[in-house]
Amino acid sequence: MTLPHPTTDQISLPLVLSVLGDPTRLAIVAHLAHREGGKGRMNCSQFLALGSKTNLSYHLAKLREAGVTRTEVVGTQRFLTLRREDLDQRFPGLLDSIVAGVEFAAIPKIEESVEMA
Amino acid sequence: MTLPHPTTDQISLPLVLSVLGDPTRLAIVAHLAHREGGKGRMNCSQFLALGSKTNLSYHLAKLREAGVTRTEVVGTQRFLTLRREDLDQRFPGLLDSIVAGVEFAAIPKIEESVEMA
DNA sequence: TCCTTAGTTCAAAGATTATTGAACAATTGA
DNA sequence: TCAATTGTTCAATAATCTTTGAACTAAGGA
């Protein structure tokens, strides 16, 4: 099963900016960026410190629809990643300058991914 | 007379992003960036192709309040400039990557500044 | 099969934002 | 002084966006 994602050239700058203009979504992106290349993918539940389950579903859909994140469906879980390469290609330097500007200390901590046996 | 502007350290990333997420405001910033260092300052009326006078007043106030632009009052006119140095200091690379991502061909042309005798 | 886990969808309510016209203020030039 | 220019403010409307709870689906494990 695959969720709808925009193609790289369908990613719109105003949409990306307005989507990242929301503090909850910016925090999600900051967490994803902070773990890039690291300890595995993140699922939606790990972001529960940032909002209710229903509300997260809403914000994560916004991020996906804007082309900021990719959502992989695995069983009952959705694994989230930043669309780093697509964003870098479409808007060079944008993601890095945004992530660098986030006051990481000011955003809620989230649950570490639980390594399963 | 001086209008209220945030100080450099009061400029907030989410606010800048959401303010620039609006197509009208992004177009204004693209025009300002396109003329940086060039043929003089721009006043509000030059942006009338982007919206009604009242509506522009609203959008230009948003840009100023977010710290994106500086508004100088000279007589009955307001001259607009990008707060390039403040933005570069606070969020290095952000303004450049945003301006570079604007499809300039797709935004309405505006009136050239009329050189006065 | 039954229960739990993970997350979505829907409809309603609440909160912000954007757009408009009418009225206004201030400066400038005739 | 009078009129034109430049732009703001206000109140109302329209349009969007966010948040919530209830109900739901789908996959996995006991």
Q: How would you write chain A as a 3-class SS string? A: CECCCCCHHHCCHHHHHHHHCCHHHHHHHHHHHHCCCCCCCEEHHHHHHHCCHHHHHHHHHHHHHHCCEEEEEECCEEEEEECHHHHHHHCCCHHHHHHHHCCHHHCCCCCCCCCCC
Q: Do B90 and A101 touch (CB under 8 A)?
A: yes
Per-residue pLDDT reduced to its tens digit, B30-68: 999 999 887 667 899 999 999 999 999 999 999 999 999
| Nearest amino-acid residue to C19, taking CA and C1' | B55
Per-residue pLDDT reduced to its tens digit, A15-63: 999 999 999 999 999 999 999 887 667 899 999 999 999 999 999 999 9
Per-residue pLDDT reduced to its tens digit, A77-88: 999 999 999 999
The domains located in chain B, with CATH, are 12-101 (1.10.10.10)
Residue of A15, A94, A102 with shortest CB distance to B13:
A102
Strand D atom within 7 Å of B53 CB: yes
